[in-house]
Chains A and B, each alone.
Chain A
Amino acid sequence: MAILNWLRNLLRRQVYTVREINRRYAKPRLKTTPMVKIALLMLRIYLLLLVVILLYKFFTLIMG
């Protein structure tokens, strides 16, 4: 029981810390110029594509 409480408190503290970090950096400091917008959009598309490839590989491995 004591361990459970300790774990619960630890988890609560971590959630609080993460929220605090999110609040601290909520407003990106970099100006969103067209160049920045395009670069970040390309990056999102690239990462999405990679995730699709990885999922495809994962499923073909499982099915095979």
Chain B
Amino acid sequence: MNFLARLFYRYRRVIKAIKLFLLVAGPGIIVMVADNDAGGITTYLVTGSKFSYSLIWFVVLLGPVAYIVQEMTVRLGAVTKRGHAEAIFDSFGPFWGWFSLLDLMFLDWLTLITEFIGMTAALSIFHVPPLLTVIGVSILMGVIVIQGRYWTWEKIVMAFCVLNLIYIPAAFLVHPSVPTILKEGMIPSFPSGFTSDVFFFLMANIGTTIAPWMVFFQQSSVVDKRIQEKDIPWERTDTAVGSVFTVVVAVFCIIVSGALLRGVNIESAAQASQALMGVNQYVGTFLAIGLFDAGLLGAVCISLASSWAFGEIFGWAHSLNNKIREAPWFYVSYFFALITAAAVVLIPGAPLILITLFVQVIAVTLLPAALVFLILLLNDSELMGKYKNTLSQNILGFIIVIAIIVLSTLYGVSVLFPGLV
């Protein structure tokens, strides 16, 4: 009887913990899954086609790296109740504040264009004209945010996050050899040598895993959700679960293209989907749906990252809990970015490839600044109190930040001067 009572008590505790987690979960999972945006999916598919499974171990390593960076934004947001843009203005003054805000705005807008490029390319596989895609997506993105409740927005976006897992069944459909994946993919090595091509793709994978908007987005999201200090452990779990999701999706993308497109010269995810349609129609369809979903998730989060940042600095009401009439400028900035980015994709002859490359270059101007500010803010005892970085967190954070800065800078330079790095 005593045993049964204890078992029941444990069961109740587990159920309560799961319920609590589901209440708090959101910002971490969303930011991490949205990190696998159209550009990210393209990078993973091209990585798989060029190097098969051999770089899977590296992508797996990037999961904890992303977690460590994003966990700091969780603490900063929960303790200060401020977004990253406001924290930079407040702690470093207007020069660094404006630099970060304007750089973020420009970078987010350019990235938004790349998300639209991904979405239109994905739906063009199903013969949907770009104009219809752009209009449909803009309406959908509007409907997602204007209902005036953060909770509803979060749950809708979480549903899109689940759809992002479509790459898992796609990978099972190609029947990959598990022993080969484990042998080639999980043992750190460079079978074809450490060539400049390998180095470029390692850098590209880092560039897609840690993006500047993620820092701004998750901190603002934590603030909008009113996460308190006591919720930090749950929010950490949320971020950890999200980082597992992001790695799982990345790995399965590489498996799909590594199995079916090994040695095929592809340059985009849409091209990969198109190529796979000829090999296995279901896999091609899944890839195209996944690419559309990735672009949509990225677009929703990136537009919000900018709108939240502007709202914080200009003093506008800037919560998803506000209706349009309560926070008009917040929604105006959201829709302005959305519509202008969508319009660029529709311009005939617009330099879309140049824009995609430019995103990677501009990202290296903002990423180091955002990460350095993050580390400095997390070391401010007055601001963070008992939640400031510990010595081990600082050592780890410092190593990661330096590595990301060096590699993403080299990536940016190699995009500008191909063949130099």
Residues in A with CB closer than 8 Å to B90 are: 25, 28-29
State whether B364 touches A25 (Cβ < 8 A).
no
State whether A21 touches B314 (Cβ < 8 A).
yes
Interchain nearest-CB distance for B283 vs A (Å):
39
Interchain nearest-CB distance for B86 vs A (Å):
9
B314 CB contact (under 8 Å) in A17, A31, A42: A17
Q: A22-B94, A39-B372 are in contact. Are A54 and B314 (CB under 8 A)?
A: no
State whether B368 touches A26 (Cβ < 8 A).
no
Docked Cα-Cα span, A40 to B376, in Å, equals 10
User: Is B266 interfacial (CB-CB < 8 Å)?
Assistant: no
Residues in A with CB closer than 8 Å to B89 are: 21, 25
Interface residues on B, range: 20 to 34
Docked Cα-Cα span, A35 to B376, in Å, equals 9
Docked Cα-Cα span, A40 to B377, in Å, equals 13
User: Is B39 interfacial (CB-CB < 8 Å)?
Assistant: no
User: Is B92 interfacial (CB-CB < 8 Å)?
Assistant: yes
User: Is B285 interfacial (CB-CB < 8 Å)?
Assistant: no
Interchain nearest-CB distance for B300 vs A (Å):
27
State whether B376 touches A39 (Cβ < 8 A).
yes
State whether A54 touches B93 (Cβ < 8 A).
no
Chain A 1-33, CB within 8 Å of chain B: the 1/0 string? 000000000000000010001100111111100
Residues in B with CB closer than 8 Å to A57 are: 416-417
Residues in A with CB closer than 8 Å to B372 are: 39, 42-43
User: Is B40 interfacial (CB-CB < 8 Å)?
Assistant: no
State whether A26 touches B94 (Cβ < 8 A).
yes
Chain A 34-63, CB within 8 Å of chain B: the 1/0 string? 011001101100110010011001000000
State whether A26 touches B93 (Cβ < 8 A).
yes
State whether A53 touches B413 (Cβ < 8 A).
yes
B313 CB contact (under 8 Å) in A21, A27, A36: A21
Docked Cα-Cα span, A42 to B372, in Å, equals 10
- A26, A30, A40 — which one has the most chain B CB atoms within 10 A of its CB? A30
User: Is B54 interfacial (CB-CB < 8 Å)?
Assistant: no
Interchain nearest-CB distance for B262 vs A (Å):
34
State whether A36 touches B93 (Cβ < 8 A).
no
Docked Cα-Cα span, A46 to B369, in Å, equals 10
Residues in B with CB closer than 8 Å to A26 are: 93-94
State whether A54 touches B361 (Cβ < 8 A).
yes
Interchain nearest-CB distance for B378 vs A (Å):
12
User: Is B380 interfacial (CB-CB < 8 Å)?
Assistant: yes
Q: A21-B94, A25-B97, A57-B417 are in contact. Are A30 and B376 (CB under 8 A)?
A: yes
State whether A28 touches B93 (Cβ < 8 A).
yes
State whether A30 touches B313 (Cβ < 8 A).
no
State whether B368 touches A25 (Cβ < 8 A).
no
State whether A43 touches B369 (Cβ < 8 A).
yes
| Pairs across A and B, CB under 8 Å, 22 listed | A21-B89, A21-B94, A21-B97, A25-B94, A25-B97, A28-B90, A29-B90, A30-B91, A31-B382, A36-B376, A39-B372, A39-B375, A40-B92, A40-B96, A42-B372, A47-B365, A50-B364, A53-B413, A53-B416, A54-B361, A57-B416, A57-B417
A-B complex: 3 closest residue pairs judged by Cβ atoms: A30-B91, A28-B93, A25-B89
Chain B residues close to A by CB (< 8 Å): 89-94, 96-97, 99, 313-314, 361, 364-365, 368-369, 372, 375-377, 379-380, 382-383, 405, 409, 412-413, 416-417
